[in-house]
């Protein structure tokens, strides 16, 4: 009955977590994170309306970085020159295009191109023959590193990617030079932007402070998740599989995450009984887990190996066989993570009666979800 109740609770929590994730947290790959701004890394952001649905956005690590975009014409010329080898792949007039262009602190340039096509074709009907109508805009992201894991970004939204070359020498440099940050006499409205009420530049009201972004604490999310972990560890001269089922509460504050977990962990040992027959002995632990981790601006999404500060303490609430003494515990501290935290290696010790009969061990875990 207990196992059925646990399984039913686990299934319910899993379904709820899955639905919540689908609504609020679309899956982001390491590739997506690599070409995206780290959370909480931007101090100032500007929106520049260029009419007809075209616009620019400039997102800066701090106000002093604005000088890097003063000559935006030259920046766009360098970008277009680097993109010449991809001209043919960007020539389809009906596909929507997204280009991510990233320059790191060493000057290395990386580009990602994505094209999407509408499942249908739209036409504009008139007196003459129908004309193909394209509803999707194109997007260009240019990321310039200020230091490791800190990037300024220029976003270009335009009706057609092929029009970008025509924007050179049309006054964009002048707009950038007008955006000098002077709190008292250059900007009107609220200096600290609020939703729907951004400050605007007196000389050019088409330039506003960006008021919807990933920069505020409102994007700090606490969470509850169901965990299922398959483990393999050594205990003395035994190789012991185990399964962890439980819940984790995550408290996230900007770049830092505190995780608190409670797990039921049946641990399986195999040995002969008094008649020499092979038996499975199940010993159950109740495990409390705490971990401190970093995210956002402090984490490299492409790092193959990571270190995590964690501690877990498990108490044997059920013993089978003569493998563990009464009042036995297991303690883990620290872990090495592989493949996006799915695989974890943890050192551990088993002990009884307040650190008596200490036995060292090593756990290899795979997080199923």
How do residues 137-171 score in pLDDT, each as one tens digit? Answer: 899 999 999 887 789 999 999 998 999 999 998 98
State the pLDDT at residue 158: 93
State the pLDDT at residue 73: 95
What distance in Å separates the CA atoms of residue 101 and residue 35, rounded to the nearest whole number?
Answer: 8
**Total residues belonging to the chain:** 369
More confident of the two residues 167 and 20 = 167
Cβ atoms of residues 217 and 257 within 8 Å? no
pLDDT band (50, 70, 90) for residue 252? confident
What distance in Å separates the CA atoms of residue 13 and residue 205, rounded to the nearest whole number?
Answer: 50
State the pLDDT at residue 304: 61
Q: Is the pLDDT of residue 217 over 60?
A: no
Q: What's the start-to-end Cα distance of the chain, in Å?
A: 24
| Dihedral of alpha carbons 334, 335, 336, 338, sign | negative
State the pLDDT at residue 23: 40
Q: Is the pLDDT of residue 359 over 90?
A: yes
Q: Long-range contacts made by residues 56-60, C-beta under 8 angstroms, separation at least 24?
A: 56/154, 56/155, 56/156, 56/157, 56/172, 57/153, 57/154, 57/155, 57/157, 57/210, 58/152, 58/153, 58/154, 58/155, 58/176, 58/179, 59/152, 59/153, 59/154, 59/155, 59/210, 59/213, 60/152
CB proximity list for 308: less than 8 A, separation 6 or greater: 291, 292, 293, 334, 335, 336, 337, 341, 344
Mean pLDDT of 172-182: 80
| Domains defined for the chain, CATH in brackets | 35-215 (no CATH), 221-367 (2.40.160)
State the pLDDT at residue 22: 40
Q: Flag the least confident range among 73-82, 213-222, 341-350.
A: 213-222
State the pLDDT at residue 69: 92
What distance in Å separates the CA atoms of residue 25 and residue 282, rounded to the nearest whole number?
Answer: 37
Counts of helices then strands in the chain (DSSP H, E): 4, 19
Q: Is the pLDDT of residue 43 over 70?
A: yes
Alpha helices (H) in the chain, listed in sequence order: 2-24, 30-34, 72-82, 172-178
- List phi, psi (to 5°) of 93: -75, -15
State the pLDDT at residue 276: 80
Q: Is the pLDDT of residue 345 over 70?
A: yes
- What would the two tokens of residue 60 be? 């800066």
């Amino acid at each position: 009955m207990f196992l059925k109740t646990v399984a039913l609770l686990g299934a319910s929590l899993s379904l709820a977590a899955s639905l919540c994730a689908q609504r609020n947290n679309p899956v982001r790959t390491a590739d997506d994170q690599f070409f995206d701004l780290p959370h909480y890394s931007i101090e100032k952001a500007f929106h520049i309306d260029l009419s007809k649905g075209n616009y620019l956005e400039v997102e800066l690590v701090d106000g002093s970085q604005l000088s890097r975009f003063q000559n935006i014409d030259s920046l766009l010329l360098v970008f277009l020159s680097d993109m010449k080898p991809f001209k043919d792949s960007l020539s389809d007039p009906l596909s929507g295009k997204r280009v991510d262009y990233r320059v790191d602190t060493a000057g290395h340039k990386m580009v990602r191109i994505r094209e999407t096509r509408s499942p249908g074709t739209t036409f504009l009907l008139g007196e003459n023959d129908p004309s193909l109508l394209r509803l999707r805009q194109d997007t260009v992201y240019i990321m310039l590193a200020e230091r490791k894991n800190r990037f300024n970004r220029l976003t270009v939204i335009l009706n057609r990617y092929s029009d970008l070359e025509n924007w050179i020498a049309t006054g964009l440099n002048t707009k950038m030079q007008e955006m000098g940050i002077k709190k008292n006499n250059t900007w009107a409205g609220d200096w600290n932007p609020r939703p729907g009420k951004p400050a605007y530049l007196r000389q050019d009201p088409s330039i506003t402070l960006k008021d919807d972004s990933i920069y505020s604490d409102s994007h700090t999310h606490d969470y509850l998740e169901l965990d299922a972990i398959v483990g393999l560890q050594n205990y003395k001269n035994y190789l012991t599989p185990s399964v962890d089922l439980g819940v984790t509460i995550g408290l996230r504050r900007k770049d830092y995450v505190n995780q608190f977990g409670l797990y039921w962990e049946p641990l399986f040992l195999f040995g002969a009984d008094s008649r020499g027959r092979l038996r499975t002995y199940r010993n159950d632990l109740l495990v409390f887990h705490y971990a401190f981790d970093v995210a956002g601006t402090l984490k490299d999404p492409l790092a193959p190996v990571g270190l995590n500060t964690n501690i877990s303490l498990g108490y044997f609430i059920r013993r089978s066989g003569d493998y563990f003494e009464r009042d036995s515990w297991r303690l883990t501290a620290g872990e090495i993570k592989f493949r996006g935290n799915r695989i974890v290696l943890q050192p551990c010790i088993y002990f009884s009666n307040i650190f008596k009969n200490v036995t060292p061990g090593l756990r290899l875990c795979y997080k199923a979800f």
